[in-house]
Structure 1
Amino acid sequence: MTTPEQVAAENAMRMHDPRVADIRGRMLDVSGLDDAEIAHVVAVLDAVRDWRVAESRMSEASRRYMNLGDNDMRALRYIIVVTDRGEVATATGIAEHLGISSAATTKLLDRLERGEHIRRLPHPSDRRSVSIVIDDATRRAAQATVGREHARRFHVAAALSPAERDVVIRFLTELSRTTESDWS
């Protein structure tokens, strides 16, 4: 059973609840909403927070399991997708996908190669380039972690009706726009 103190402590941590974080209404006017509506909005924001926490935990667990950083994991995923399409993964493609310099890409590939996650092989049609091939064990590990998690997420989204998906898309798109800076 949850004690009143535990409820109070949990509510105090809801920094996205205007009744907690903005009691004087300096940042947000909620005068047009009753308490039940505010609580419902906060429940949506709680769910977003919970998703971010779960996503962060899963990403961290995958990185720890494979002993890799974010860009390393993103590069491996890119290599898997490109090669599964029957295309050749290259350093240039990885750099463009990650939005990093060629020097940073070289360091990333050196690190992945030292960890035996990838191999650099001659490009099948361009003598000036090399192809990047993922190690079979790394592919299996990535599919068992990130791939399995992606499949679960896909099934959750697929279980929604088209109208529900449209609401989620609209909400997340608008939520993403709130991070656009007015300072730039």
Structure 2
Amino acid sequence: MAEKGARAARQDSISENLYEVDSADPRSQLVDRSGLKPEEVAQIGRLMKAIAALRETEKAVAEASQRYMRLSAVDMRALHYLIIAKHQGDVVSPGMLAGHLGISAASTTKLLNRLENGGHIVRAVHPLDRRAFAIEVTPETEASAMETVGRQQSRRFFAAARLTHDEREVVIRFLEDMAREMSLTGVDWAGDAHG
């Protein structure tokens, strides 16, 4: 029993230090931090840990919403796209949805069949192209998604609203810079991944 407790304590210690730069890269092989004070390195570690916590929270919300709606991640992305299009007054065709999701026409057909059979979407003749379909989320699915998943996801707006204008600009610059730094564009080992 004591060994099990010690193993759990080691696991907790590793998890706790996962985003601390000194633990992740003790010999500065990945990150040259010679120009930074130890407290700056520690603060950056706290920042990385906060980003990881946000990712974990987003993942938990996404998984809970998929379970609640009884849909896959792709199904949820499709419905989100359809809801936004409806709010903008846009008509969505299967080709538009396939392009957004990055899936083939055959996969899109299977997706639409699944969503239609589940009562989540309706297909109608496209108002501008009689040879195509227009896809729309059903009022019931839209209401359910908006009142559950949408309401939970929208709470991040309040965190952003509590920042000042200048603080938001700093956060925007930081996140855009981090996305550029981490982009897979031109990275050989990533293969066909896009940045």
Q: Equivalents in 2 of 1:143, 1:129: separation in Å?
A: 28
In the alignment of these two chains, the number of paired residues is: 180
Give 1:93 deviation, angstroms.
1.6
Q: Give 5+ residue unaligned stretches, structure 2.
A: 1-7
Q: Equivalents in 2 of 1:79, 1:166: separation in Å?
A: 30
- Whether 1:112 and 2:115 are equivalent positions in the alignment is yes
State the match for 1:51 in structure 2: 54
Give 1:10 deviation, angstroms.
4.5
- Whether 1:20 and 2:40 are equivalent positions in the alignment is no
Q: Equivalents in 1 of 2:136, 2:92: separation in Å?
A: 7
Q: Give 5+ residue unaligned stretches, structure 1.
A: 1-5
Worse-superposed segment, 40-49 or 26-35:
26-35
Q: Does the 8 Å CA contact 1:11/1:20 hold for their aligned counterparts?
A: no
Give 1:77 deviation, angstroms.
1.2
- Whether 1:33 and 2:36 are equivalent positions in the alignment is yes
Q: Which TM-score applies when normalising by structure 1?
A: 0.87
CA-atom RMSD in angstroms: 2.2
Percent sequence identity is 41
For 1:68-147, what aligned pairs fall within 5 Å after superposition? Answer: 68-147=71-150
State the match for 1:167 in structure 2: 170
Q: Match of 1:25, SS?
A: coil
State the match for 1:67 in structure 2: 70
Q: Equivalents in 1 of 2:36, 2:147: separation in Å?
A: 45
Partner amino acid, structure 2, of 1:72: D
Q: Match of 2:100, SS?
A: helix
Q: 1:61 to 1:94 in 2, by over 3 A?
A: same
Worse-superposed segment, 37-46 or 122-131:
122-131
